[in-house]
Structure 1
Amino acid sequence: MTDNQVVVVPEDLCQELVSRTDAFAAVEQVFAAMGRGDARNFPVVREAIGHAEALFGFKSGFDKAGMALGLKAGGFWPGNADRGLTNHQSTVFLFDPDTGRLKALVAGNYLTAVRTAAASSVSIRHLARDDAKVLGMVGAGHQAQFQLRAAVEQRSFEKVVAWNPHPDMLPKLEAVATELGLPFEAVSQQELGAQADVIITITSAFEPLLMLDWIKPGTHIACMGTDTKGKQEVDPELVAGARVFTDEVAQSVQLGETQHAVAQGLLDEGAISPIGKVINGDHPGRQGDDEITLFDGTGVGLQDLAVAATAAALAAKQGRAQTVSL
């Protein structure tokens, strides 16, 4: 029996190798594969561990089109910020679909951030109005900066408006907007809804932060923070009043933003469309300039596998891959 050579891609190398363009392409392709039925996610395991207020779990799946099989293990440690660490911690394990042998260990912190931003960016490309000019940001944490950078590459935005439950965090987001050459304004939630053509919500909220009456016709909303039962960022009436798309319908209904509208009988599960169908041309997507569209980005394991496979492939191609024998 020969040794199994496993590629190891550490955090700093992932940041050097995987660009926003790479992440966008990987996520768009895997959403398309899901839409064709060529890729599927396996059931999510996510549990409170009873220590450090942490959540830990696994997201896994198989992309037959991209031949990516594996899982992401990790979770959320709320006290990490006080230690100078990222609250989200994760590692991706990739396996050979032909043999089941471990192929790669890929650090997942940066990749989780960049793939989440890529997902909302994909939704903006395929669902937002072409003439969108004002980007609204609800949330100003670490992930919001990735979201902002990715979003501005999809439309010719002229301004960023933002709200955060902790206003003292907004200057960091403003610095990114300034770097990108965009005027930035801190506003109320109602004013954000009145101005924004595209809104990204990226918080850890457990209550609605945006109401239907605050949103103007034609807005596209990417809800990116709700990934656990009980979490919530927008009013269920807003979800029900929009044309709704998601990464995966089953996960959206279980733990995504649509969980509340579906549970309350305001939205039928059959009315939720996979964004992969839009990418593949099997669904028209937005069907009017005045229509509110909403993307429920729950974060599926296949996204993680796609960007991790990209990192491993780039590391090998550039001769920068570290290997260990198992």
Structure 2
Amino acid sequence: MFDIRILSKEDVTKIITMQQVIEVVESVYKAKSESLTDVWPTVFYEFNRGKADLDIKSGYLKSKQLFGHKTVTWFGDNAEKGIPTLIGMIAVFDAETGMPLGMTDAAYITGMRTGAAGALGAKYLAREDAENLLIVGAGNQAIFQIAATLTTMPTIKKVRVAAQQLANAKSFVEGIHYKLQHQFGISIDNITFEAVEDLEKAVHDSHIIITITPSRKPIIKKEWLKIGTHISCIGADMVGKQEIDAEILTSSLLFVDDTKHCKEVGEIEIPLKQGVINETNIIGELGDLIVGKVKGRTSNEQITVFDATGMALLDIATADMALKQAEKNELGTKTNI
């Protein structure tokens, strides 16, 4: 009855760029601030705690007359089976008719839009002269965070990568030049890349820190930070996760991507429950800052934090862009359902 287009990961990688995704993500943040979106409740289920889980996120983009959902699974043991640990699909629908418009692979789009979110937090909250970037975590998301931040922050001169195992950080750094140049088309001639041996020292020497770990206890301590640091907290996306010392939030300029979800499952979840901070510590959502409803950094001495749990709105908008470009380029598979 309906003709829809289905895009594989390979299709998606051919037709979207990081710059395009950053622009889409920024437009969604703006639309959310202007009450042109609805974020629907997240479904989260753990098949095996810490080893296998799923997320179902959904929402409505009134500004684009689209709605949809994303189902993503993470099965850690898949690595031993030779299959991806992160698997998922995004479904996009027309909000005027309810008709399905298409489906895309979710893994690559999730990586791209999550990278864009972390980088936009840095763009709007970090010092304008920020040069040193620290990525804490060397998993699937690390390359996307680096690519997006280098795209939005041309002042970056040094990128450090920290991992639980130094060998993992070194292995990641060894392959980063090829990925950035060939996968993202990013010139890295004047940028230094290093694996971190001493996390405390690296934190103290960083202007921008992006955390992308599954940690359930703080790994960044308040006393390690120097004045003027910005932190984009990306890893805390379900109940019980926490990557930075709660005390950091008491003396920083704090922004979130979606207030309700961040309170439930974001970096601020545990500090709120512990009473270390309260809702008045939240200055606003990033979209509010982008459109000028609230003020952000006003000096190079302030510490800023962006807590991003991730929204299906970003996936839906990015998938819609990919589907439209695929139609123009006759990519993907068309089928009738």
Whether contact under 8 Å (2:234, 2:309) holds in the other structure is yes
Query: Which secondary structure state, in structure 2, belongs to the residue aligned with residue 287 of structure 1?
Result: coil
- 1:223-262 equivalences under 5 Å are 223-262=233-272
Q: Counterpart in 1 of 2:85? A: 87
* Selected match of 1:36 from 34, 37, 41: 34
Q: Counterpart in 2 of 1:318? A: 329
- 1:286-297 equivalences under 5 Å are 286-297=297-308
Whether contact under 8 Å (1:140, 1:172) holds in the other structure is no
Query: Structure 1: which amino acid aligns with 2:172?
Result: L
Query: Structure 1: which amino acid aligns with 2:166?
Result: P
Whether contact under 8 Å (1:162, 1:187) holds in the other structure is no
* 1:73 and 2:71 are equivalent in the alignment: yes
State the Cα RMSD in Å: 1.6
Whether contact under 8 Å (2:266, 2:308) holds in the other structure is yes
Whether contact under 8 Å (1:6, 1:102) holds in the other structure is yes
| Deviation of the 1:126 alpha carbon | 1.1
Q: Is the alpha carbon distance of 1:165 and 1:27 closer, same or farther for their aligned partners in structure 2, counting shifts above 3 Å?
A: same
Whether contact under 8 Å (2:166, 2:197) holds in the other structure is no
| Deviation of the 1:325 alpha carbon | 0.8
Q: Counterpart in 1 of 2:192? A: 183
Q: Counterpart in 2 of 1:158? A: 157
Query: Structure 2: which amino acid aligns with 1:133?
Result: E
Q: Is the alpha carbon distance of 1:316 and 1:113 closer, same or farther for their aligned partners in structure 2, counting shifts above 3 Å?
A: same
* 1:142 and 2:149 are equivalent in the alignment: no
Q: Counterpart in 1 of 2:168? A: 169
| Deviation of the 1:136 alpha carbon | 0.9
Q: Counterpart in 2 of 1:60? A: 58
| Deviation of the 1:175 alpha carbon | 2.9
Query: Which secondary structure state, in structure 2, belongs to the residue aligned with residue 44 of structure 1?
Result: strand
Query: Which secondary structure state, in structure 1, belongs to the residue aligned with residue 116 of structure 2?
Result: helix
**Mapped partners of 1:202, 1:57: distance in 2:** 17
**Mapped partners of 2:308, 2:123: distance in 1:** 14
**Mapped partners of 1:210, 1:53: distance in 2:** 24
Whether contact under 8 Å (1:90, 1:108) holds in the other structure is yes
* 1:278 and 2:289 are equivalent in the alignment: yes
**Mapped partners of 2:85, 2:53: distance in 1:** 10
Q: Is the alpha carbon distance of 1:87 and 1:239 closer, same or farther for their aligned partners in structure 2, counting shifts above 3 Å?
A: farther
Of 130-139 and 179-188, more deviation after overlay is shown by 179-188
* Selected match of 1:219 from 229, 236, 243: 229
Query: Structure 1: which amino acid aligns with 2:78?
Result: N
Query: Structure 1: which amino acid aligns with 2:304?
Result: T
Matched positions, count: 324
Query: Which secondary structure state, in structure 2, belongs to the residue aligned with residue 118 of structure 1?
Result: helix
Q: Is the alpha carbon distance of 1:30 and 1:184 closer, same or farther for their aligned partners in structure 2, counting shifts above 3 Å?
A: same
Write the deviation string for residues 87-128 of structure 1: whole angstroms up to 9, x where unpaired.
221100111111212211111111111110010111111111
Unaligned runs of 5+ in 1: none
Query: Which secondary structure state, in structure 2, belongs to the residue aligned with residue 152 of structure 1?
Result: helix
Whether contact under 8 Å (1:23, 1:118) holds in the other structure is yes
| Deviation of the 1:271 alpha carbon | 2.7
Q: Is the alpha carbon distance of 1:51 and 1:204 closer, same or farther for their aligned partners in structure 2, counting shifts above 3 Å?
A: closer
Of 286-295 and 81-90, more deviation after overlay is shown by 81-90
| Deviation of the 1:177 alpha carbon | 5.2
Whether contact under 8 Å (1:137, 1:163) holds in the other structure is yes
| Deviation of the 1:178 alpha carbon | 4.6
**Mapped partners of 1:199, 1:57: distance in 2:** 26
Whether contact under 8 Å (1:161, 1:187) holds in the other structure is no
| Deviation of the 1:68 alpha carbon | 2.1
| Deviation of the 1:48 alpha carbon | 1.3
Unaligned runs of 5+ in 2: 179-187
| Deviation of the 1:51 alpha carbon | 9.6
**Mapped partners of 2:51, 2:204: distance in 1:** 37
Query: Which secondary structure state, in structure 2, belongs to the residue aligned with residue 126 of structure 1?
Result: helix
| Deviation of the 1:176 alpha carbon | 5.2
Of 80-89 and 123-132, more deviation after overlay is shown by 80-89
Whether contact under 8 Å (1:71, 1:301) holds in the other structure is yes
**Mapped partners of 2:152, 2:281: distance in 1:** 26
Q: Counterpart in 1 of 2:181? A: none
Q: Is the alpha carbon distance of 1:88 and 1:177 closer, same or farther for their aligned partners in structure 2, counting shifts above 3 Å?
A: closer
Q: Is the alpha carbon distance of 1:162 and 1:319 closer, same or farther for their aligned partners in structure 2, counting shifts above 3 Å?
A: closer
**Mapped partners of 1:57, 1:208: distance in 2:** 23
Q: Calculate percent identity across the aligned residue pairs.
A: 28
Q: Is the alpha carbon distance of 1:223 and 1:50 closer, same or farther for their aligned partners in structure 2, counting shifts above 3 Å?
A: closer
